[in-house]
């Protein structure tokens, strides 16, 4: 049975009904097919592809062209899933017209259903302009990797009353600017719960606890592929990194000891054709 792609109103109704939304990142065709087959409600083509795909130390080097290419591949792999394109660093911060133009590229060139951008009050003009352009915008506050330098590194946010109050104010501003949903990252669960109860739009968590309307995880973390580091909020459900190394090592061993390729892995000439060939070569 063909899966029905969710709309923003389906996501809103899930919040009202207290039904959790589950989503994951994907950066290529194959992982998108796996995510859709697993029944994910949404897929984020995150700028985390910088670390998970390209081996960058962070997300800052990621370009619009890279995000578009990966979003295109994900759309082909998950035609019936709600897909969000992640606006990379400097694709929206420079000016409001840049933000609208680049958000439009995600829709025109990759066929996404929405875009996500990081920041609080300072990006509300961009959020409003993109929403006024007829596109869905998701906000993202808390630990915002593109601004990790300002935050002093990849650190949890909102751990004091003052910092939490600022996050709550940012969340309200983002909703007022026209965002259809909000992602909260690396924030104490009680703060995320207050934000969820304060806003009418869905509030999702990555490392912000169970109080949210749903959860996002990085696919490379869930599968145990990303080996560089493991954030506190990650639960690895498999260790495909280690299993892949084992598979590659077994392949190498088989080649070196002559057990691969075996006869069952090769093609045979038609009967009598080898003798004909030998005659032709005389």
Q: Which residues are catalytic?
A: 185
Phi, psi values for residue 139, rounded to 5°: -85, 170
Q: What's the rounded Cα separation, in Å, for the pair 54 and 188? A: 30
Task: Give the orientation angle of helix 64-77 with respect to helix 96-110, to 10 degrees.
Answer: 30
Task: Give the orientation angle of helix 189-198 with respect to helix 161-177, to 10 degrees.
Answer: 30
Can you give 158-227 as a three-state secondary structure string?
Answer: CCCHHHHHHHHHHHHHHHHHCCCEEEEECCCHHHHHHHHHHCCCCEEEECCCCCCCEEEECHHHHCCCCC
E strand or H helix at 83, and its extent?
strand 82-86
Q: Which two tokens stand for residue 47?
A: 């700028």
Cross-strand pairs, 42: 23, 82
Q: Which two tokens stand for residue 73?
A: 């591949």
**Contacts of residue 51, Cβ cutoff 8 Å, sequence gap at least 6:** 57, 58, 59, 226, 228
Q: What's the rounded Cα separation, in Å, for the pair 213 and 222? A: 19
Q: What's the rounded Cα separation, in Å, for the pair 126 and 174? A: 10
């Amino acid at each position: 049975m063909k899966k029905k792609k969710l709309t923003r109103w389906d996501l809103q109704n899930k919040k009202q009904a207290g039904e959790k939304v589950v989503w994951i990142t994907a950066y290529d065709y194959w992982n998108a097919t796996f995510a859709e087959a697993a029944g994910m409600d949404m897929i984020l083509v995150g700028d985390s592809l910088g670390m998970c795909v390209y081996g960058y130390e962070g997300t800052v080097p990621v370009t619009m062209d890279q995000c578009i290419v990966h979003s295109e591949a994900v759309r082909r792999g998950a035609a019936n899933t709600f897909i969000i394109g992640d606006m990379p660093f400097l694709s929206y911060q420079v000016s409001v017209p840049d933000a609208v133009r680049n958000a439009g590229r995600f829709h025109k060139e990759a066929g996404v259903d929405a875009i996500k951008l990081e920041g609080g009050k300072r990006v509300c003009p961009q959020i409003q302009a993109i929403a006024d352009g007829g596109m869905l915008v998701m906000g993202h506050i808390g630990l915002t990797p593109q601004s990790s330098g300002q935050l002093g590194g990849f650190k949890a946010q909102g751990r004091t009353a003052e910092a939490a109050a600022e996050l709550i104010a940012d969340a309200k501003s983002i909703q007022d600017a026209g965002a259809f949903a909000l992602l909260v990252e690396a924030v104490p669960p009680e703060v995320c719960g207050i934000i969820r109860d304060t806003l009418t739009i869905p509030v999702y968590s990555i490392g912000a606890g169970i109080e949210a309307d749903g959860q996002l995880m990085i696919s490379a973390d869930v599968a145990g592929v990303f080996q560089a580091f493991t954030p506190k909020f990650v639960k690895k459900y498999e260790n495909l990194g280690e299993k892949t190394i084992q598979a590659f090592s077994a392949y190498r061993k088989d080649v070196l000891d002559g057990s691969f390729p075996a006869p069952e892995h090769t093609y045979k000439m038609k009967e009598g054709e080898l003798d004909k060939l030998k005659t032709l070569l005389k």
